[in-house]
Amino acid sequence: MKKVVFLLALFISLNSYAQESFWASNLKSVFGEIGWNNLKLSAALGFRFWNVGASMGLTGFASSKPKYIYPSTQYPLPKKGEYDEYKFTYVLVTTDFYYFFELFDDFIITPTIGFYVQQDSILAKSKRITTPYGQTDYGQLYYLGKTENKTGLNFGIGIDYYLLDQYFVGIGFNYRRGIFLRFAYYWF
């Protein structure tokens, strides 16, 4: 954690010499990110003021859920030892904080740090061949009603290019949201 804080302080101090005063360069923008990772589609919306920004992102809302059944009298839940637990990520939410380095005239480098919250649903994957009533059951997924929540740090980096005076487009990578494209609109 000390290394992350040190790196952020270093980035800020390196960039401060090239910046005008805070009140003279208080750029404001809104931006959106759309990306792709192992959970399929990801999206984020954010706001920039001066050289700092923040965004909220969501991943997994377009991924397909596996087909599972609820235990019933015809399909009872397998007993312990007759199933393996199978996890799939149901939703992942990120909050990221940005620092915008305008190192070149038309390019901006944007490192990010943030946190994420992830919820995994846990299903039972049957190892038995048939149910007690004779239905084929091998590999069937059953609803267990269990979830697992995870939280942690999230990192990313991107590079943006000014298209016109008030627009920029960029590409980047976020540890949890994957590869993304960023579009922004500036107002002064």
**What's the CA gap between 132 and 76, in Å, rounded?**
8
* Number of C-beta neighbours around residue 90 at 10 A: 16
pLDDT of residue 55: 97
**What's the CA gap between 41 and 45, in Å, rounded?**
14
Residue-wise DSSP of 141-158: EEEEEEEEEEEEEEEEEE
pTM: 0.76
* Helix ranges, the chain (H): 2-16
Q: Which regions of the chain are under pLDDT 70? A: 1-25, 188
pLDDT of residue 23: 42
The H or E element that residue 64 is part of is none
**What's the CA gap between 122 and 128, in Å, rounded?**
18
Q: Are 135 and 72 in contact (CB under 8 A)?
A: no
Query: Would residue 168 be called left, alpha or beta, if left means φ above 0 and alpha means ψ between -120 and 50 degrees?
Result: beta
Q: DSSP code of 50?
A: T
Q: Are 96 and 114 in contact (CB under 8 A)?
A: yes
pLDDT of residue 17: 47
pLDDT of residue 2: 64
Domains, the chain, in order of start with CATH, read 29-75+87-117+148-187 (2.40.160.20)
